[in-house]
Structure 1
Amino acid sequence: MFDKRLAEEGRPVRKYLLLTIGISIAGAFLAVAQAWFLSQIIAGVFLERATLKMVWHPLCLILAIILLKSVLQWSAEICAHEAASGIKASLRSRLIGQVVSLGPVYARGERAGELITVIVDGIESLEDYFAKYLPQLLLAAGIPLLILGFVFPQDWKSGLILLLTGPLIPVFMILIGKLAEKKSLEQWQSLSRMSAHFLDVLQGLTTLKVFGRAKDQARVISRVSESFRLATLRVLRIAFLSAFVLELLATLSTALVAVSIGLRLVYGTLSFSVGLFLLLLAPEFYTPLRTLGLNFHAGLSGVNAARRIFEILDLPVAEKQTSEGIDSQKINLSSSREESLISFRQVSLTYEEGETPALKEINLSLGSGEKIALVGPSGAGKSSIAQLLLRFVNPSAGKILVQGQLLETISLEYWHEQIAYVPQNPYLFSGSIAENILIGKPSATMEELKEAAQQSSAHQFIMKLPEGYQTLLGEGGTRLSGGQAQRLAIARAFLKNAPLLILDEMTSSLDSESEYAIQQALQRLLQGKTALIIAHRLTTVRQVDRIFVMERGGIIEQGNHEELMTKQGLYSRMVSEYRGEAI
């Protein structure tokens, strides 16, 4: 089993792999020398009655060889694991970078637990492939040939037996490996499903408890775990069978060599020292082949994990130009004097081929300093426009212009520097409050951080916490209320101070006091900024310059509040439906 693409991943660390192989071959030479000296000493002592003084120097040489072999074996393992560590670090970095490049749209379409398993366990499973299997694959071909080079000059019959029986081990290894390949893949898939399901249960534990379904999910986890256990046992059963067969073949082959040597020693056609030398070399001939067989299943696990890793790495990512080819002065949003800062021209978007388009021929413009709002029923395409503007996805048709320049030609890193995004459900990371706010501007001082928190109406509740800004939050900000988490998200936007704001309105599920505090913070945040607001509560859109009403992926109305109310269209009906809280 040899995976060309995995082998290519070893190119950057090939010096370590070659060093591992070279050291192991040097160890094989020492094994031959040890067998030679040992056979000479035993023959001298038992046949020629040599004294200790006579064999003292050869014994010292054997001791030195044993010590040197130990050092070489240790060095080979160090080099092999160094190579594996370098490859794992490179692959993990590229894999995480690929997931980040694919963006939130891709991540939401995958099970988080399965992705975590690939990034963590999948990469780790490559350790044995590169540290053990791949070097051993070359050694299994090289060392037996090296030993045959010493055996044939001494006794061609023993060499012929080794030459004929040696290939039986890899042949049986491949035959058993074919059976193990499917079982190993099933084991990996079972592990991915179990990890994904367990993470889903943990994240949805509150919902499960409220609806009384926690025990049902516990039974499901037990069933999934049992499936993984059985899959693992099937793989281990084959691994044990493989080890038994390979050990049996090696033992029988060595016995065949021993019988051949023994018969010729009886008839006096072979000297004792040569016969003993050959007998000591026979196990060394089969050892690399047996070791390859033992590592075959570890290599198989690495190959199965690599399939999923390369599947993710091969996903197409939209081309992104670097800022080196862009004159950043041409897209300085904060000082734009153009009437149309951002323009959508006949933009359509389909997330997956064959699906209903999320957006259909959208024409929309956003002027410098202008505040526009997108309203409409769920699924109308409001969030898709934000996804396009954030460049999490690219248009299926049409084009988006920024100051007359195609958006996709602008450096993604530079473009994101121009945008502050405040989502409806902001994510807070495990860490301190200060660390979470500093995501907006990692280089900010503590004074700047506190000023941003005051502007977002977050400073007051932060100071009431046990350790203020250094208070540690759990994953997802579990210690904070929804309104508090949203104020921290607004603080990030204040700290970043970007010229373009994208706000996924956050007041739809808040109490009146929290809603008022956030509305005041948003008004301060919007001053002097260009903003795109996705509105859920119609009370928030009366202050914007223009309102775009969306339905089924298209814009069906636009204008300010008064103009749209006069048209008596969808917007007017939406206001009437929510009149109790909208006006």
Structure 2
Amino acid sequence: MKRAAPIRPAMRRRLDGWLRGESRCARVPLRVSVAAGLAGGVALIGQCWLLARIVDALALDHGGLSEIAPCLYLLLLTVGLRVAATVVAERAAFEAGARMRDSLRERLVAHAATLGPTWARTHRAGEVVGTWLDATESVGRYCSGYLPQAALAALIPLAILAFVIPTDWVSGLIMALSAPLVPLFMILIGKGTEALNQAQWRRLAHLGGHLFDAVEGLTTLKLFGASRAEADAVATLSDTYRRATMAVLRVAFLSSLVLEFLATLSIAMVAVYIGFRLYYGAMHLLPGLAVLMIAPEFFRVLRALGSQYHARMEAVAAGEAILALLETPPPPAPAGTRDLPGPVRTVRFEQVWFGHGAAPVLRGVDLALARGRCVAIVGASGAGKTTMADLLLGFLAPDSGRITVDGLDLAAIRPESWRARIAWLPQRPVLFHGTIRDNIRLGRPDADEAALRQAVARAGAEGLIAELPDGYDTVVGDRGQDLSGGEIQRVALARAFLRGADLLVLDEPATGLDAANAALIAASVRALCADCAVLVIAHDTLSVRGADAVFRLTDGRLVPVTRPGDATGAAAPPTPAHHAAALP
């Protein structure tokens, strides 16, 4: 099995510092967890001493129940305090981990929103979701498990040594000398598992991304008869991940075995030494028995730290992916500060150039969109149609040239003011889990019932909603579960009508629909053209036959398309710029 390259020491130190810095949001519950754990450790010392005193009173002094009753009551109280401290410590640790995990998830989602859809298209959705869920879960376990235990591994042994050394300094010396061996071997073995943890995490991210993509494209795989091959590929990836997990577990069990051996050897040394001293009468039973009972607890805390050390290594491996995402620079934010004074009438591309890297995608594009007109852009995949939509929506900025809104440069307009005037209908509209009413009101939550029903009627969705079990209150699943593709499109169109936007951008609105549904969508779009400018993106001219003007995007330039049935059969204007000048 190929191993991943270990994280460089400088990067490891940086990730450790970053993880500790991120834990500041959970500082209060962490302190409560450590304080409660320390209180439980002190109660443990008292419990061992009281048990030793009761045994000494019964075995050597032949005391009765009345003589040991006070010690029994104190022992019950100590046990109760220890149980309460354990419960408080565990709940506070869980709260600390949840706070750190949720804080990171909120930041990751907010940063992904800042990066925009252009960034999202270049990353596998499954791997991104894996970072949001699995990686943050690992960091949460680091905060809830490793951090409190690291503090307790330093505090509780010191408290135990403070009790043992005055009682029996030789046993205390044995404990003090053997205690550093546990974290030393823990770190040495941990270095060997670091690369395995990284490999396991990367395989998990790859498996999650592949499985997510397979589920997304399950219908396509079925249509092309590739589902069996895809299932075999997922099985291969799963088996690879299983082997990586078993390799990590093998080393983890080896680590536990070594730590248990060291702790057992140290406890045995203490027990043998105390046993000989008791045999020769050089030591009283009470202190010897108390030290003997507390010695396993001394090493139990250190062994627990060894177990949680794997949570730290897993968090470091996961933190690398989280930090890479958080440090991805967002695109330049629009610096516009002006608000649009009134309804938008005309939007123009004026000699717009744009390129991803060195190769230009758009070369001096001129185009005009006007209220009441529908303009379509067709072209092959990768021609730059989506790039034009992203430029229009404000997710990208032109390298040169400009986009104007009623003569005002789009770069000077405040993004929120501009996007409030836009409705976007993607190729696959997203419906969330909720009622039909809530889905339609997504862009305008304050819309009244009359406006809602008017938008539904204009979108041709009245019959659809009337046939649903609960009408507007029918609950649909994520991505419009239980609705067909055409029904989802009509609900999304009703959402666009209700929004009352000045510009509507449609990305392949008829893809995957039958002729009847495609005709309904086309009629609804034509009705919407009366109130706004419409830009339709498609792969071919057949799906945009109702557009007022059609342009083909080829080699970064717009070329007018002459269609049968155009006025007098004349050719379209020779250039996009000419067409733009002719629009109102």
1:379 paired residue number: 382
Q: Following the alignment from structure 2 to structure 1, what is the Cα–Cα distance between the partners of residues 509 and 527? A: 15
Farther-moved stretch of structure 1 (362-371 vs 113-122): 362-371
1:334 aligns with 2:337: no
Q: 2:419 aligns with which of 397, 416, 421?
A: 416
SS at match of 1:386: helix
Residue identity opposite 1:506 in structure 2: P
Residue identity opposite 1:283 in structure 2: P
SS at match of 1:212: coil
Q: 1:259 aligns with which of 272, 283, 293?
A: 272
Q: Following the alignment from structure 1 to structure 2, what is the Cα–Cα distance between the partners of residues 246 and 510? A: 64
Q: 2:253 aligns with which of 240, 261, 272?
A: 240
1:503 aligns with 2:516: no
Q: Following the alignment from structure 1 to structure 2, what is the Cα–Cα distance between the partners of residues 285 and 391? A: 62
Q: Following the alignment from structure 1 to structure 2, what is the Cα–Cα distance between the partners of residues 570 and 418? A: 28
Residue identity opposite 2:185 in structure 1: F
Is the CA contact (8 Å cut-off) linking 2:130 and 2:208 kept in structure 1?
Answer: yes
Q: Following the alignment from structure 1 to structure 2, what is the Cα–Cα distance between the partners of residues 80 and 474? A: 35
Is the CA contact (8 Å cut-off) linking 2:334 and 2:415 kept in structure 1?
Answer: yes
Question: Structure 1 residues 530 and 213 mapped into 2: Cα distance closer, same or farther (>3 Å)?
Answer: closer
Q: 2:97 aligns with which of 84, 87, 92?
A: 84
2:463 paired residue number: 460
**Offset at 1:54?**
2.2
Q: 1:294 aligns with which of 307, 310, 315?
A: 307
2:124 paired residue number: 111
Question: Structure 1 residues 407 and 258 mapped into 2: Cα distance closer, same or farther (>3 Å)?
Answer: farther
Is the CA contact (8 Å cut-off) linking 2:348 and 2:366 kept in structure 1?
Answer: no
2:285 paired residue number: 272
Is the CA contact (8 Å cut-off) linking 2:372 and 2:529 kept in structure 1?
Answer: no
Farther-moved stretch of structure 1 (298-307 vs 547-556): 547-556
Q: 1:390 aligns with which of 389, 393, 397?
A: 393
1:220 paired residue number: 233
2:354 paired residue number: 348
Question: Structure 1 residues 511 and 405 mapped into 2: Cα distance closer, same or farther (>3 Å)?
Answer: same
Percent identity over the alignment is 39
1:426 paired residue number: 429
Q: Following the alignment from structure 1 to structure 2, what is the Cα–Cα distance between the partners of residues 243 and 307? A: 26
Q: Following the alignment from structure 1 to structure 2, what is the Cα–Cα distance between the partners of residues 285 and 378? A: 66
Deviations 1:534-559 (A, max 9, x none): 35427847864x66553212346699
Q: Following the alignment from structure 1 to structure 2, what is the Cα–Cα distance between the partners of residues 14 and 3? A: 16
**Unmatched runs of 5 consecutive residues or more in structure 2:** 1-11, 577-584
Q: Following the alignment from structure 2 to structure 1, what is the Cα–Cα distance between the partners of residues 407 and 156? A: 66
SS at match of 1:55: helix
Question: Structure 1 residues 35 and 315 mapped into 2: Cα distance closer, same or farther (>3 Å)?
Answer: same
Is the CA contact (8 Å cut-off) linking 1:374 and 1:550 kept in structure 2?
Answer: yes
1:19 paired residue number: 32
SS at match of 1:358: strand
Q: Following the alignment from structure 1 to structure 2, what is the Cα–Cα distance between the partners of residues 528 and 278? A: 86
Is the CA contact (8 Å cut-off) linking 1:348 and 1:362 kept in structure 2?
Answer: no
Deviations 1:188-214 (A, max 9, x none): 222222222222222222222233222
SS at match of 2:360: coil
1:537 aligns with 2:537: no
Q: Following the alignment from structure 2 to structure 1, what is the Cα–Cα distance between the partners of residues 532 and 571? A: 29
Over the aligned positions, Cα root-mean-square deviation in angstroms equals 3.2
Q: Following the alignment from structure 2 to structure 1, what is the Cα–Cα distance between the partners of residues 223 and 378? A: 32
Residue identity opposite 2:426 in structure 1: P
Aligned length: 560
1:70 aligns with 2:83: yes
Residue identity opposite 2:310 in structure 1: H
1:317 aligns with 2:330: yes
Is the CA contact (8 Å cut-off) linking 2:351 and 2:364 kept in structure 1?
Answer: yes
1:359 paired residue number: 362
Give the structure-1-normalised TM-score.
Answer: 0.86
Residue identity opposite 2:489 in structure 1: Q
Matches within 5 A, 1:152-163: 152-163=165-176
1:40 aligns with 2:44: no
1:306 aligns with 2:319: yes
Is the CA contact (8 Å cut-off) linking 2:348 and 2:403 kept in structure 1?
Answer: yes
Q: 1:10 aligns with which of 16, 20, 23?
A: 23
Q: Following the alignment from structure 1 to structure 2, what is the Cα–Cα distance between the partners of residues 276 and 349? A: 79
Question: Structure 1 residues 508 and 180 mapped into 2: Cα distance closer, same or farther (>3 Å)?
Answer: closer
Residue identity opposite 2:301 in structure 1: P
Q: Following the alignment from structure 1 to structure 2, what is the Cα–Cα distance between the partners of residues 141 and 484? A: 62
Q: Following the alignment from structure 2 to structure 1, what is the Cα–Cα distance between the partners of residues 365 and 569? A: 19
Q: Following the alignment from structure 1 to structure 2, what is the Cα–Cα distance between the partners of residues 5 and 563? A: 69
Question: Structure 1 residues 260 and 212 mapped into 2: Cα distance closer, same or farther (>3 Å)?
Answer: same
Q: Following the alignment from structure 1 to structure 2, what is the Cα–Cα distance between the partners of residues 398 and 166? A: 70
Residue identity opposite 1:537 in structure 2: T
Q: Following the alignment from structure 1 to structure 2, what is the Cα–Cα distance between the partners of residues 542 and 405? A: 30
Question: Structure 1 residues 395 and 39 mapped into 2: Cα distance closer, same or farther (>3 Å)?
Answer: farther
Farther-moved stretch of structure 1 (313-322 vs 163-172): 313-322
Is the CA contact (8 Å cut-off) linking 2:30 and 2:92 kept in structure 1?
Answer: yes
Residue identity opposite 1:13 in structure 2: A
Question: Structure 1 residues 62 and 473 mapped into 2: Cα distance closer, same or farther (>3 Å)?
Answer: closer
1:175 paired residue number: 188
Question: Structure 1 residues 37 and 478 mapped into 2: Cα distance closer, same or farther (>3 Å)?
Answer: closer
**Offset at 1:230?**
1.7
Deviations 1:8-44 (A, max 9, x none): 1111220110111111112222222222333333333
1:580 paired residue number: none
1:550 paired residue number: 553
**Offset at 1:229?**
1.8
Q: Following the alignment from structure 1 to structure 2, what is the Cα–Cα distance between the partners of residues 377 and 395? A: 21
Deviations 1:206-246 (A, max 9, x none): 22223322222222222222222222222222222221211
SS at match of 2:394: coil
Q: Following the alignment from structure 2 to structure 1, what is the Cα–Cα distance between the partners of residues 225 and 511? A: 27
Residue identity opposite 1:349 in structure 2: G
Is the CA contact (8 Å cut-off) linking 1:374 and 1:549 kept in structure 2?
Answer: yes
Question: Structure 1 residues 512 and 268 mapped into 2: Cα distance closer, same or farther (>3 Å)?
Answer: closer
Question: Structure 1 residues 145 and 409 mapped into 2: Cα distance closer, same or farther (>3 Å)?
Answer: farther
Is the CA contact (8 Å cut-off) linking 2:278 and 2:284 kept in structure 1?
Answer: yes
Deviations 1:515-567 (A, max 9, x none): 443333222211132343435427847864x6655321234669997799547
1:578 paired residue number: none
Farther-moved stretch of structure 1 (148-157 vs 449-458): 148-157
2:5 paired residue number: none
